[in-house]
Amino acid sequence: MSISDIYREEIIDHAKNPRNYGKLTDYDFEHKESNPVCGDTISFQMKLDEQKKVKAIAFEGNGCTVSQASTSLLFESVIGKTIEEINKLSSGDVLQLLGVESLTPARMKCALLSLSALKKATKQ
């Protein structure tokens, strides 16, 4: 497997046209997370419905393809999930969304920025 596997059309599309991009004014959770190594940042808000499931999520961010595409993919996937379900998400789930088996340690940090942000927000 090579790094080029991650730079597929679908991933580049998610990085260039991230889903759920923007800001929510009405939200239950909010968090900002950054990767000091490369300066990747994301900030997001999340709103739950009456069944305590994610109703809406929105983020803004800057960074590499891996960090931004993984955020777009991960956040898209959590809509309809409960907080318990979100807390059970693992790095393996993010890699699966990205369609790769593994990444180099440095790039894993980019890939997991959104998961870390999500978990920190829900634990507060």
Binding site for another protein (CB under 8 A): 2-4, 6-7, 12, 37-40, 62-67, 104, 106-107, 110
40-48 and 29-35 beta bridge pairing: antiparallel
- For another protein, which is the closer residue by CB, 3 or 101? 3
Write down the residue that tokens 């803004």 correspond to.
Answer: 60
Instruction: Give backbone dihedrals phi and psi of 39, rounded to 5 degrees, phi first.
Output: 80, 10
- For another protein, which is the closer residue by CB, 61 or 121? 61
Measured from the CB of residue 92, what is the shortest distance to another protein in angstroms?
20
Write down the residue that tokens 């777009």 correspond to.
Answer: 72
Measured from the CB of residue 65, what is the shortest distance to another protein in angstroms?
5
